[in-house]
Amino acid sequence: MFIKSLNSIPIEKVNAGKDTFRQILIGSDEAPNFAMRRFIIEPGGEIPNHTNTVEHEQLVLNGRAKVGIGDETFEVRKNDVVFIPANVPHWYKTEGDDAFEFLCMVPNQEDIIEILEYKKRKRP
Amino acid sequence: MFIKSLNSIPIEKVNAGKDTFRQILIGSDEAPNFAMRRFIIEPGGEIPNHTNTVEHEQLVLNGRAKVGIGDETFEVRKNDVVFIPANVPHWYKTEGDDAFEFLCMVPNQEDIIEILEYKKRKRP
């Protein structure tokens, strides 16, 4: 077993995103079935459209964002629960003056990430 | 995919606990690998010592509690991350005047729950 304070966990930059950071709360090496991460997107930041080969179970902890999932766009905010199935394109763009923070759980399976931003920008 | 507001999700009483409630944020029937639940223990409430046959990955969302895990007792509060392996006895007792709220993820596997409170009370 273990207990950690969120504030004691290192924060790393997510290079695929703009002004995006990540903490590994429970790593795939620390638990048998799934990992718990926190993402922080500073105001004005974004994560470009991409796919993962694993699903995401998310809870918004702070702030607001536009989230694209498949061909739809949603406004999400603190206390929204978001489920993104494996291989479904998704992106995030903050709204307002607060950091957008969310918990994101993924199974302990290989995750191949494909950035689709270039394709998205080519759309009319 | 789906998006839900926390406030729209039914709250059910947890009969094994005192003043304890639960919301199923993402059920085992809604996602392939693991479920996301929120537990709320009102001030003065508790969950007795018990074991589960699945592990718990938890994040404290609000309040404070004493948590017993195995033979140790911890004080946890908002933003603490807690990992409880399968089959390790654990219990919760709120501290202070706020509800103790935590997110608790479990794998989509059979969970057999054994209440150990009677044994605990027999200890000197």
Q: Tell me the pTM.
A: 0.94
Res. A118 pLDDT band, cuts 50 70 90: low
- Mean pLDDT, to the nearest integer, of B75-85? 98
Q: A33-91: per-residue pLDDT in tens?
A: 999 999 999 999 999 999 999 999 999 999 999 999 999 999 999 999 999 999 999 99
Over residues B92-108, the mean pLDDT reads 98
Query: Cβ distance B63 to B94 under 8 Å?
Result: yes
User: Does B77 map to a domain?
Assistant: yes
Provide the shortest C-alpha distance from residue B124 to chain A (in Å). Answer: 25
- Residue of B1, B7, B84 lying closest to A1 (CB–CB): B84
Mutation for A interface: B58, B76, B79, B81, most A CBs within 10 A: B81
User: What does the pLDDT read at residue B72?
Assistant: 96
Closest residue on chain B to A85 (Cα): B1
Domain presence at residue A48: yes
> What single letter denotes the amino acid at residue B101?
E
Q: Give me the number of domains chain A comprises.
A: 1
pLDDT reading at B124 higher than 90: no
In a domain, A18, yes or no: yes
Q: How many CB pairs under 8 A join A and B?
A: 104
Q: Do residues B46 and B66 lie in contact, with contact meaning Cβ atoms separated by under 8 Å?
A: no
Tell me if A92 is assigned to some domain: yes
The candidate with the shortest Cα–Cα distance to A48, out of A117, A101, A120, A123, is A117
ipTM, two decimals: 0.93
Q: Do the domain assignments include residue B93?
A: yes
Q: Kindly tell me if the per-residue pLDDT of B121 is higher than 70.
A: no
How many helices (DSSP H) and strands (DSSP E) are in chain A?
1, 11
Q: Which domain holds residue B86?
A: 11-122
Mutation pick from B79, B87, B108 vs chain A, by most beta carbons of A within 10 Å, is B79
Give the DSSP letter of residue B31.
Answer: S
Structure tokens at A77: 């905010």
- What pLDDT score does B119 carry? 52
pLDDT of residue B118: 56
Given this model, what pLDDT does residue A120 score? 52
Strands (E), chain B: 2-5, 12-13, 18-26, 34-51, 56-62, 64-69, 72-77, 80-84, 90-95, 100-107, 114-115
| pLDDT class of A25 with cuts at 50, 70, 90 | very high
Q: With a cut of 90, say whether residue A121 has pLDDT above it.
A: no
Whole-number pLDDT of residue A109: 98
| B74 close to B49: Cβ distance less than 8 angstroms | no
Let me know if residue B6 belongs to a domain.
no
Q: Judge whether residue B53 has pLDDT over 70.
A: yes
Counting residues of chain B whose pLDDT is more than 70, the rounded percentage is 94
What pLDDT is stored for residue B73 in this prediction?
97
The CATH number linked to B105 is 2.60.120.10
Question: B25 and A80 in contact by Cβ < 8 A?
Answer: no
On whether residue B3 sits in a domain, the answer given is no
Q: Cβ(A42)–Cβ(A94) under 8 Å?
A: yes
Could you tell me if residue A99 is inside a domain?
yes
Question: Confidence band (pLDDT; 50, 70, 90) for B33?
Answer: very high
Q: What is the mean pLDDT of chain A?
A: 95
> How much is the pLDDT for B120?
52
